[in-house]
A and B are shown apart, each in its own frame.
Chain A
């Protein structure tokens, strides 16, 4: 591949972030899902008594919050290509010298940054609220360093994976709503995996974490290549081939 142009990628990222910032429905969509993921575990943790706190050691409640990076970015990513196409703004961009790899990377980074920011912020708020309002013994049983590290490392990895799924669907879909619905469906396996780990159905081990981390790294790298290959300038512009 030719050398990537940071300037062109930055131009796409900046443009996308400006558009998100000024679009109330995007901000609302990005806010609702994290709130749902914050309220449910918060309620269940805050109602745990000190005497029952020890049971929390059998679960990885924090991992449940990895559902945020799995779900938050897909709606935006699913809009990325087909949305621009429907708005008529895609064709002018495609007439510029930007290669598809750079365009897609720019779009992915623009979704990744706020998604990861929101996921970390909600996680931080959750930890603070648990520290402040949970019964004694609960925070120490719940907040264990390995789970926090997993959260920090896996948030961007899972978000990136969801983004590539969303963009891949967006490059082939002909309607924004269809793309968003399919993308949410496609991200459910990731959500299921994190939930199963959180409730100890899948036993969390260091080996599993490393394996999943490496798999996600490779999948994200491959996802970029694959989505770039799926991005068919002609089909997107003419609607046919």
Chain B
């Protein structure tokens, strides 16, 4: 990944963070963060409550000064002097939309279009409203909108300035499934249109569905990578075998088969067979089961969700903090 040039847009790194940390007195909000995000990437930032996700966004958005490390945001070094210039190039959608409830949707957007000093204000507002399917509600006071619609207005507001990097802080927090689905569709569309998105969430299925890469934060960065990479990194590959009746001698069936590392029977009576290569082990296990006269119901590859990865890492943290 190449380093961003000074104008930001011509390089391939939208966000570069090196050893970044923030303390409030003795309390560590986050520390030692290092990662890079490419332009056009949808990057998920996961972590439990209090992990430092929102503080990280606020720090990268120049609302809070870091206490250690350095970063480059949209090609601009993160320093107090560069705050205005960075904020010109990014947009942040905080967890709560923060709309002026007595103003209409259009008036809210007009105010922010002027704060960003965008040209052709009316056309920008129109385009942003179209992007979130709210053209019909432009004249409605924001206080009369549902939570989901307010969230959409906040997304429209964030899009007004055509940001190089868009920070979305828990965009679906508190939304019902239908409203969440709408916001997901919008984020997916934005990702496809090339906007760099930094998405903080603790909804793992959201990150799995939308993000090219994810990082898991629990004050420190626990891991970073593509969701499938993280699964492979943390969990051994396995095949799950379900038989109609338990095998009389499972060791004689699974032992010594090619690409099989071991096996265990789980609480539901299924056999979980650790394998190095499912495509080699699968047919061999099937043949061995048939030869042993077993009544096979299913053989499937074990799937570990991002949630498994997340819980594994967070559990590790909790155990180490207890010990």
Question: Is A96 part of the contact surface with B, judged by Cβ < 8 Å?
Answer: yes
B236 interface residue (CB < 8 Å to A): no
Cβ–Cβ contact B115 & A8, under 8 A: yes
Q: Is B92's CB under 8 angstroms from A99's CB? A: no
Contact B115 A98, beta carbon cutoff 8 Å: yes
Partner of A95 from the list B55, B94, B96 (CB cut-off 8 Å) is B94
Question: Quick check: is B64 within 8 A (CB to CB) of the other chain?
Answer: yes
B298 CB to closest chain A CB (Å) equals: 50
Q: A91-B63, A92-B94, A241-B24 are in contact. Are A19 and B100 (CB under 8 A)?
A: yes
* Contact in complex: B117, A95 (CB < 8 Å): no
With both chains docked as a complex, state the minimum distance between the C-beta of B174 and any C-beta of chain A, in angstroms.
Answer: 13
Q: Are A97 and B88 in contact (CB under 8 A)?
A: yes
Which of B85, B117, B154 is within 8 Å of A7, CB to CB? B117
Complex-state Cα separation, A10 to B154, whole angstroms = 22
Taking CB atoms, residues of chain B closer than 8 Å to A14 are: 111
Choose one: B63, B65, B102; the contact of A19 (CB below 8 Å): B102
| A176: min CB distance to chain B, Å | 16
95-109 of chain A: CB within 8 A of chain B: 95-99
- Total count of chain A residues near the partner, CB < 8 A: 32
- The answer to whether B116 touches A97 (Cβ under 8 A) is yes
Q: Is the CB of B114 within 8 A of A234?
A: no
- 1/0 contact string of B61-79 vs chain A (CB within 8 Å): 1011100000000000000
- Chain B: CB-nearest residue to A89: B98
- Residues in chain A near residue B61, CB distance under 8 A: 95
Taking a contact as CB atoms under 8 Å apart, the answer to whether A8 and B94 are in contact is: no
B64, B65, B90, B115: the one within 8 Å of A11 (CB): B115
Contacts of A205 in B (CB 8 A): none
Contacts of B101 in A (CB 8 A): 87
Chain A residues 71 to 112 lying within 8 A of chain B, measured CB to CB, are: 87-99
Please state if A237 and B64 are interface contacts (CB–CB under 8 Å). Answer: yes
Q: Are B111 and A15 within 8 A (Cβ)?
A: yes
The distance from the CB of B110 to the nearest CB of chain A, in whole angstroms, is 8
Known: A7-B117, A8-B114, A8-B117. A94 touches B102 (CB 8 A): no
The answer to whether B115 touches A18 (Cβ under 8 A) is no
Given A96-B115, A97-B115, A234-B63, is A22 in contact with B102 using a C-beta cutoff of 8 Å?
Answer: yes
Residue A233 at the chain B interface, CB threshold 8 Å: yes
> With A and B bound together, what is the CA distance between A19 and B92 in angstroms?
23
Contact with A along B113-131 (1 / 0, CB 8 A): 0111100000000000000
A51 at the binding interface (Cβ < 8 Å): no
Contact of B64 among A10, A87, A88, A234 (CB under 8 A): A234
- The CA-CA distance from A95 to B167 in the complex, in Å, is 11
- Asked if B145 is at the interface of the complex by the 8 Å CB criterion, the answer is no
User: Given known contacts A234-B65, A241-B24, is B114 in contact with A10 (CB within 8 Å)?
Assistant: yes
CA distance A92 to B217 in the complex (A): 24
Q: How far does the alpha carbon of A12 sit from the alpha carbon of B115 in the complex, in Å? A: 8
Could you list 20 A-B pairs, sorted by A, with CB under 8 Å?
A2-B84, A8-B117, A11-B115, A12-B111, A15-B107, A18-B100, A19-B100, A89-B100, A91-B94, A91-B98, A92-B92, A92-B154, A95-B90, A96-B116, A97-B87, A97-B116, A97-B117, A233-B64, A234-B64, A238-B55
- B-contacting residues of A (Cβ < 8 Å)? 2, 5, 7-8, 10-12, 14-15, 18-19, 22-23, 87-99, 233-234, 237-238, 240-241
Given contacts A87-B101, A95-B90, A240-B25, 11 further A-B contacts (CB under 8 A): A2-B84, A19-B100, A19-B102, A87-B98, A89-B100, A91-B63, A91-B98, A92-B157, A95-B92, A233-B63, A238-B58
